[in-house]
Structure 1
């Protein structure tokens, strides 16, 4: 496969506020990224987690290099991805930094465990994924972090937590499937009479 690289130049970038508003239209699953070991821990709420490969199992996350998590991520070379359920909004809020909590203070009010890398993983998350940093790619204000998955812990199925248009939204598979069935295309008459 041939790839074509073109160097395009434009006079200006899109305004940051317009870009931010456009990205609010993209619903994203809410996760808490945890870093560090022992009492030297912190974390952040993100919607930027995505799978990269199944074999080997790897994922990517975008991390702001000005965040308190960045130095610990670099120091320890590991991180946890904790995929939150809708009843874990309080965890998402604590790790978003809105209430001023920092470092280990963000971990209060929830149960945490550790596995191979030693990073805290949230007990009761939809999934908790223990990752070792494989590579980082620094661009502008952020870094794309590629993580090799070392262990996966899955919780019982719950309603998922997403972030869309500036607010948290719950996605319940059973409930939302029923709603979709109500508004889907009508069943052909012949099938309804059977």
Structure 2
């Protein structure tokens, strides 16, 4: 039995506030080919399986990139380095840029599907759409990985409490070590 749950306006605000506590990995989804390209910043990418390599991304069906993803049936998952924050913000809509304008000022390459993949990203994954499951305002897109480029290890970006946070394993581990309480001496 399926039931529909309606959330009151205040509950909607509470839900958004609750989700701000969830730390999300930042990715730039790219779609389209040639001059018909677009993209968006998301925190909804996850691995689905290793065999075959596949990912899941949740996409708002109201996004300007949605029609291109539906028609082209291919997309890129670009996991940016922390020093690529300007690109992330551009694809999140900062500055009001749309479509191909968002790609300016960065280097892009194409692999099997022809969608733009970010040069210098921690990882750039070329995917073909395997399945789309539409639910509510969003669609769950399952993508089969056709090619991936893995960049050098560097600081990554996370999204938390409405802002971007750089995560650097080496620097953050050193900070944690400096703040940690030493182990008490053992009693023999």
Normalization by structure 1: what TM-score? 0.90
Residue matched to 1:13? 7
Say which SS state the counterpart of residue 132 (structure 1) adopts: strand
Match of 1:53 in 2: 49
Measured after TM superposition, the shift of residue 189 of structure 1 is 1.9
Identify the residue that residue 155 of structure 2 maps to in structure 1.
Answer: 159
1:8 to 1:74, Cα distance in 2 relative to 1, 3 A: closer
CA RMSD, Structure 1 to Structure 2 (Å): 1.7
1:28-80 deviation digits (Å, cap 9, x = unpaired): 11110000001100000000000010111010000010111110001110000
Q: Is residue 63 from structure 1 mapped to residue 59 from structure 2 by the alignment?
A: yes
CA-CA distance at 1:139 after TM superposition: 0.4
Which of 108, 112, 116 is the aligned partner of 1:112?
108
Match of 2:68 in 1: 72
Aligned counterparts of 2:2 and 2:136: Cα–Cα separation in 1: 18
Relative distance call for 1:9 and 1:131 in structure 2 (3 A) is closer
Show structure 1 runs of 5+ residues with no match.
1-5
1:40 corresponds in structure 2 to 36
Structure 1 segments (4+ residues) deviating >4 Å: 6-10
- 5+ residue gaps, structure 2: none
May I ask how many residue pairs the two structures share in their alignment?
185
